[in-house]
Copies of this chain bind each other. A is one copy, B any other.
Amino acid sequence: MRIELNCPVNPGDKDRIVLAHGGGGRLTRRLIEQIFAAEWQNPHLDTNADSAILEGLSGGRLAFTTDSYVVNPLFFPGGDIGCLAVNGTVNDLAMVGAKPQYLTASFIIEEGFLLSDLRRVVASMREACRKAGVYIVAGDTKVVDRGSGDGVFITTAGVGIIPPERHFGPAAIRPGDAVIVSGDIARHGMAVLSVREGLGFESAIESDCAPLNGLVEEVCRTATVHCLRDLTRGGLATALIELAGAAGMSMLIEEARIPVAKAVHSACELLGIDPLYVANEGRCVLFVPEEEAAAALTALHRLEIGREAAVIGRVTGAGAGVVELESIIGGTRVLDLLSGEQLPRIC
């Protein structure tokens, strides 16, 4: 393969993505070799094959997931679209009990996008992969004309093996289970919103974007886990409502026990946004038997990412599958799915 390094075909456009970067010819090759493969080098990535070939995955159930990322802006306090795209998919695998192993990454890039920004995103993905212990093994790049996209969209898919003894899911939730949240909520959505809308509290709020697979392994060593769910789009409330519905189990959550950082709380109040519905990218809820809640919490508190973990409520019993919230100001209300869009393009 003749790859001419550092020799752009069209010097006027040399710092930007052009349509030909998506054409499958010389420029596509160069983009793959110089930007993607150079950063993501690993023994499983072969830029000369149509698919990655993965060995030694046998002997368990395979978890397989995908998510697209369209966050705006691409860079925000505490993260960027790159680490989001890695952590989001790593976390979806971790939530079903899988040990995330391999990812694919597919880029839809708008003509004119800065190569320096692309490099930054790609480097961020490499770093996120390192932290999560996963490899990117295949990818794709498409370029769309100016005005038909928005900078870059990234879609990742991931696979991981689920140890035979793990059967996490709504069906395993039992009456009496403690509901634990792994950390303070609503950081990610508010961090993105703050820079997007120029709200001036940027510095105070950092996204919680992080991989949760280490946390899951740690908790599994100490306690029985019945179910896990990461608190992405729709936030804590949506996750609980969906799980309650799927499990046919009702829950009672105490608002006062839900950890929310002061800056996040103030920003939410200022904007009239309910933190319960704001997206997180490094937080999850865990359902564990009541008698193992203390042990699980101790395990979580040992981890940097789980320092703020708290028991926020319990599964009250089978039946209607509703989530009741005991509010700070007194009284109880039933949580409901949002009909509208609270914060578009936060992931």
Say if the beta carbon of A2 comes within 8 Å of chain B. yes
Contact A23 B106 (CB under 8 A): no
Which residues on the B side are within 8 Å of A343 (C-beta)?
23
Least CB distance from A319 to B in Å reads: 14
Which residues on the B side are within 8 Å of A20 (C-beta)?
338-341
Interface size class of A (residues with CB under 8 A): 35 or more
Partner of A29, one of B18, B230, B337: B337
Within 8 A of B (CB), among A1-57: 1-2, 9, 18-20, 22-29, 48-55, 57
Which residues on the B side are within 8 Å of A230 (C-beta)?
50
Contact B68 A107 (CB under 8 A): yes
Which residues on the B side are within 8 Å of A104 (C-beta)?
64-66, 157
Contact B64 A102 (CB under 8 A): yes
Q: A9-B339, A162-B53 are in contact. Are A70 and B232 (CB under 8 A)?
A: no
Which residues on the B side are within 8 Å of A22 (C-beta)?
233, 341, 344-345
Partner of A245, one of B1, B91, B92, B149: B1
Partner of A64, one of B96, B138, B153, B242: B138
A229 to B24 alpha-carbon distance, docked (Å):
14
Contact B66 A339 (CB under 8 A): no
Contact B64 A54 (CB under 8 A): yes
Q: A245-B2, A345-B145 are in contact. Are A50 and B65 (CB under 8 A)?
A: yes
Quick one: which of A93, A141, A344 has the most chain B CB within 10 A?
A344
Least CB distance from A183 to B in Å reads: 18
Partner of A150, one of B98, B149, B340: B149
A92 to B287 alpha-carbon distance, docked (Å):
40
Contact A49 B234 (CB under 8 A): no
Contact B150 A144 (CB under 8 A): yes
Least CB distance from A212 to B in Å reads: 11
Within 8 A of B (CB), among A291-344: 337-344
Least CB distance from A107 to B in Å reads: 7
Q: List 6 A-B contacts (CB under 8 A).
A: A18-B341, A22-B345, A23-B234, A50-B93, A53-B96, A149-B153
Instruction: Using A19-B344, A52-B63 as known contacts, list a sample of 6 further A-B pairs with CB atoms less than 8 Å apart, ordered by residue number in A.
Output: A22-B233, A50-B91, A51-B158, A64-B138, A70-B144, A108-B108
